[in-house]
């Protein structure tokens, strides 16, 4: 009898923990991002002022989008997918998502620092990652629809992906308005300068990378020459 009671207590404890975890996932990964989407100014105000955004959620959103992009590369319907599986580069997919998020974060922070923006780099990073929420859902739905729809129906697939991209852009823009406490005109101006700053940062990075490759090739050539001379 005592064993049965203990088992019941363990089962009850397990279900309570599972309910708590599911409640946390529903609140942090679905309800709050939906609130940000439907009430961006109020949502991002709470996001910044009350530290409502969580780094763990932001990173999970990035990981999910990376995984969905890889799945899309492999499993999107043949009518919208001309990719060869052998061409899949997981590192490139990771770099594409993470690189864009980090680039936007650094570029926006560098610009808004000059324009008296109130948001910190962490706030901007979290805001951009949370804004991936619509894109995550549109990508997931797009993968499914691409394997179901055919012919003219594929317009729905394109529409879903477009809506996801537009809503993500909308959330980023409204997030900048709220986090930096800008007016509409000033936010538009900083968005334009953010693109300019991102282009400059990308150019400098590619220039530095090219210089590094050149230096590495030069040093490796010297190393090979010295090694060959010693062998001779």
- For the segment 117-163, what is each residue's pLDDT rounded down to a tens digit? 888 888 899 999 999 999 999 999 999 888 887 777 788 888 999 99
pLDDT interval class at 42 (50, 70, 90): confident
What is the number of structural domains in the chain? 1
pLDDT score for 40: 86
210-214-220-222 Cα dihedral, nearest 10 degrees: -170
pLDDT interval class at 200 (50, 70, 90): very high
pLDDT interval class at 61 (50, 70, 90): very high
Segments forming the whole domain that contains residue 81: 2-231
d(CA 33, CA 133): 7
Q: What is the DSSP string of 17-84?
A: HHHHHHHHHHIIIIIHHHHHHHSHHHHHHHHHHT----HHHHHHHHHHHHHHHHHHHHHS-TTT----
Q: What is the pLDDT of residues 50-59, one digit of tens each?
A: 778 889 999 9
d(CA 71, CA 192): 33
Cα 87 vs. chain centroid, distance in angstroms? Answer: 22
Q: Which residues contact 41 (CB under 8 A, 6 or more apart)?
A: 174, 177, 178
Q: Is the pTM of this model over 0.75?
A: yes
Report the residue count for the chain.
232
pLDDT score for 169: 93
């Amino acid at each position: 009898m005592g064993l049965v009671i203990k088992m019941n207590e363990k089962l009850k404890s397990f279900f309570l923990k599972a309910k708590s975890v599911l409640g946390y996932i529903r609140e942090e990964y679905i309800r709050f991002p939906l609130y940000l989407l439907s009430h961006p100014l109020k949502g991002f105000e709470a996001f910044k002022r009350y530290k409502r955004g969580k780094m763990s959620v932001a990173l999970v959103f990035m990981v999910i989008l990376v995984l969905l992009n890889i799945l899309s590369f492999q499993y999107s319907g043949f009518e919208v997918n001309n990719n060869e599986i052998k061409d899949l580069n997981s590192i490139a997919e990771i770099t594409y998502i993470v690189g864009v998020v980090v680039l936007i974060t650094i570029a926006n922070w560098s610009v808004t620092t000059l324009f008296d923006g109130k948001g910190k780099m962490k706030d901007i990073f979290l805001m951009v990652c949370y804004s991936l929420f619509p894109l995550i859902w549109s990508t997931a739905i797009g993968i499914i629809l691409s394997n179901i729809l055919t012919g003219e129906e594929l317009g729905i697939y394109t529409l879903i992906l477009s809506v996801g991209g537009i809503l993500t852009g909308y959330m980023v823009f409204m997030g900048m308005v709220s986090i930096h406490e800008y007016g509409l005109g000033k936010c538009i101006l900083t968005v334009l300068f953010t693109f300019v700053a991102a282009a400059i940062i990308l150019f400098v990075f590619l220039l530095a990378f090219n210089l590094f490759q050149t230096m590495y090739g030069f040093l490796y050539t010297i190393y090979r020459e010295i090694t060959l001379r010693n062998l001779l």
